[in-house]
Structure 1
Amino acid sequence: MTILHRGFDTLTLAVQANIPAELFDHLDAERERADLERQDVLVEYNGIHLHLKSHGGHGYRFIASGGPHGATWFFKKPNPKDAWGIRVNFGSTFLALNGLGAAKAHLEMVTAALGIRYGADDISISRADFCVDILAPHFELNPEQFVMHSSAGRRDFVKETDKAVHGRSGRTTSVTVGSSRNRQVIVYDKRAEIIHSGKAHWWEIWNMELRRNGLSEVDPKCADSSRVWRVEFRAGKDLLKDRWNIRTWAQFFDRFGDLCRETGEVVRYTEPNATDCNRARWPNHLIWELACSEMNGDLMEMRSGCDPNPLKEVHKEQQVSIILRNVLGCTVTLAALRGVQYSELPGFFQTTADELTHKTRLHPEKVAKQLEDARNRYVFL
């Protein structure tokens, strides 16, 4: 078994502050534009670029994204009776590439540029997910090997009824224990998940770690040798605040490591002992020992060390590949509707290109707007 990655996968927090009136007016006008155009629009404010949605949600008037290499921002309409006017979510790509310290710095940089002022105690962390990716081609996940302490149900709401199991092709691919608002543990086939979701950049993150240690890269096409399992500890709002009194950055840095250590004791993945019918006495499985030991290090600057620029190229090429497949599929369908034979396709492709050129010349302003919208849509790549 080989460690490929360790670090935070999700971080969500609230800020006790309201956006300035000038920023509200700017975003409100841009949201009307997004509503008219029925799409996200690229907005700029004091050097900060965000994709603004045409709608709000969950009590927030504005939802804006900095792309996979930024954060997602939720802003309420300024209200003196509601001081907690901002919510921020950092996703897996940002945290894997940059780490927790960079997330804190990014939050401070963007809020300062947007004119948002707050103090050290005006932060409330509401969710934190920490993961370890382990190359384990021969590992087989068995739901019956999870052990929850007898007191866990009362203390942490982690009990047998909170266990969800998923699988395919006669094998278990994911087991989740606990609830998202409290303490949750999930072990799942990360290789299968990234193939299904198209997150190809994870192969580069993992392979860079292998190269750094002088090991052979994993081949995405070979399932038998590239099976990667993720062990993930998730801490929700109830666990962070009610049990651990974690709210601010200082409290988070000081106590989250101990929270993870406790999680690895409250919920365990074990190695069966045929001579002992009491599962509580079974020893930890090697994959569990590896994951828990990796969670005991310094959490502040944990990052993959991977250069984000090649990963942006991976994202870009992935989008290009998808669009090319769609263009080919649509053009072939158009050929079928027009009665074109297979041998006539090359000529039909050229004819179609000529038609598109002609339509572009007929509606230059419309096509120019479409080009600009597309450029804005992929600006973060």
Structure 2
Amino acid sequence: MDLIYAGFDGLDVTFQGFIPSQAIERFEAAKQTAQETKQETFAQVGKFKGHVAETGARGGYTYRVDTGNLGFTWFFSKSRKREGWNIRVSCKSATLAAYGFDETINRMYADLEAVGATVLQEAIARVDFAMDWRMPGDFRLDPHRFALHGTTKADMHGEEIGQHWQKRQCTGMTIGKMPGRQICIYDKRRDIVAKRKNEWWKIWGLDRDEFEASGDQMWRIELRAGKKHLKEQWGVTSWADLRAKLGDIYANALLRIRYKADLWDENDNVTRVDDDPMWDRCRDVVAENLFEYTSGALPGVVKQVMHDQQRQTIAAMMVGLSANLAVLSGVDKDQLWELPRVISEMIAANVKGENAKEFKLKMKKIHRRYEIYDEDGVILDERAIAEVGAAARWSEASPNAC
């Protein structure tokens, strides 16, 4: 087994403070539009940009704002009481993988400054740490080999347990319940394929074809610490608390819940059964240095993979819809050369004359949806798109240009 990736995978923080009235007005207008159009709506407050959802979130958060694939999901309350905890943020796993823990926090505070928020203090609501292991093809997860430290039975003595199976193979195990402590182990390759998160091949630095041909598996062991566990068990609320105790929190989790090398009989003392080497290596990773590991994948590369994947998805949809259009338009299967003309005429009718204005408006909305807002962006802004288009037209008109 080889360690492919280790890093933070989730981070939720609540802030005592509030956003200015200008931000509330912009988000309220965008939310109303989102409710009317049934889709997220772009909003900008100063340098802060994001898409406002139709609904807020539990806990009194009126607005839910997404700042992009490598950004955050922000939750804002209308309340402007200084003593209120009116701001919450949830970091995306791709953001943490691309930028690392410290830079993600820096970007979080940059967003707060951009939106004009007044922030008095923070409270850590959740933090997840993940390790991805490349395992041989014959590896099988056995739920019966998990044990709570110090017990003599296979059960978890009150721990909540979830199992996921595909056919006769266990593909995942979750022990514990949020906002307490959780340990999850699951087939990460299945997960990224199912959720179409192709950026993880770049984050791992692996060639997908080579990996698939090898027959190996990718298993993730994820350590999750929720608000209740952090605050009540470890006294963690602030960044200082988190940095001082996080290594101990995760090390303790891997001691309290263990994956054993073998099964044991009902009357055996489970403490005498060795831990699986995989579990020992996880403890080594945590003990060495939680903040040492980074993916090495540049943010722009990760974004480009996401962009390319979305474009491929849309292209595949267009091909599928073209087949439907061919049938409904009476295009014979032996005369498919007529199909581009049918499609071209249909599009032409919507990009000129009275329909052009509406089409441009749709393009503007779609552009804002895919726009990336920071300096690492690979999706071009409107001015850059215009410049690229002009350059392409000049190149076509000048055959000798190099």
What's the TM-score, normalizing by structure 2? 0.86
Aligned to 1:39: 39
C-alpha distance in 2 between matches for 1:152 and 1:34: 55
Q: 1:95·1:303 contact (CA, 8 Å) conserved in 2? A: no
Residues 1:101 and 1:89: Cα distance change in structure 2 (over 3 Å): same
Residues 1:343 and 1:98: Cα distance change in structure 2 (over 3 Å): same
C-alpha distance in 2 between matches for 1:223 and 1:169: 22
Give the superposition deviation at 1:312: 1.4
Q: 1:203·1:220 contact (CA, 8 Å) conserved in 2? A: no
2:303 maps to 1:312: yes
SS of corresponding position for 2:311: helix
Aligned to 2:196: 198
Residue identity (%): 27
C-alpha distance in 2 between matches for 1:299 and 1:12: 18
Aligned to 2:103: 102
Residues 1:364 and 1:200: Cα distance change in structure 2 (over 3 Å): same
Q: Which has the higher contact order (CA 8 A, sep 6+)?
A: 1
Give the superposition deviation at 1:365: 0.9
Give the superposition deviation at 1:333: 1.1
SS of corresponding position for 1:16: strand
Amino acid paired to 2:46: N
Give the superposition deviation at 1:237: 1.3
Q: Deviations over 1:147-204 (max 9, x none)?
A: 1135799xxx963661111111321110111112211111100001001100001111
Q: 2:22·2:45 contact (CA, 8 Å) conserved in 1? A: no
Aligned to 1:133: 132
Amino acid paired to 1:334: L
C-alpha distance in 1 between matches for 2:159 and 2:105: 36
C-alpha distance in 2 between matches for 1:31 and 1:273: 55
Give the superposition deviation at 1:267: 0.3
Give the superposition deviation at 1:260: 0.3
Amino acid paired to 1:262: N
- After TM superposition, the structure 1 = structure 2 runs for residues 294-373 of structure 1, keeping only pairs within 5 Å, are 294-300=285-291, 302-361=293-352, 362-373=354-365
Q: Which runs of 5+ in 2 are unaligned?
A: 373-378, 380-402
Length, aligned pairs only: 368
Aligned to 2:223: 233
C-alpha distance in 1 between matches for 2:32 and 2:202: 40
Q: 2:18·2:82 contact (CA, 8 Å) conserved in 1? A: no
Moved more, 245-254 or 199-208: 199-208
Residues 1:13 and 1:159: Cα distance change in structure 2 (over 3 Å): farther
C-alpha distance in 2 between matches for 1:149 and 1:8: 25
Q: 2:19·2:116 contact (CA, 8 Å) conserved in 1? A: yes
Residues 1:260 and 1:182: Cα distance change in structure 2 (over 3 Å): same
Aligned to 2:236: 246
C-alpha distance in 2 between matches for 1:96 and 1:296: 20
Q: Deviations over 1:76-105 (max 9, x none)?
A: 012428610000010110011111111221
Q: 1:98·1:305 contact (CA, 8 Å) conserved in 2? A: no
Q: Deviations over 1:24-57 (max 9, x none)?
A: 1222223223333332122222212111113212
SS of corresponding position for 1:17: strand
SS of corresponding position for 2:253: helix
C-alpha distance in 2 between matches for 1:247 and 1:53: 29
What's the TM-score, normalizing by structure 1? 0.90
Residues 1:334 and 1:150: Cα distance change in structure 2 (over 3 Å): same
Give the superposition deviation at 1:223: 6.3
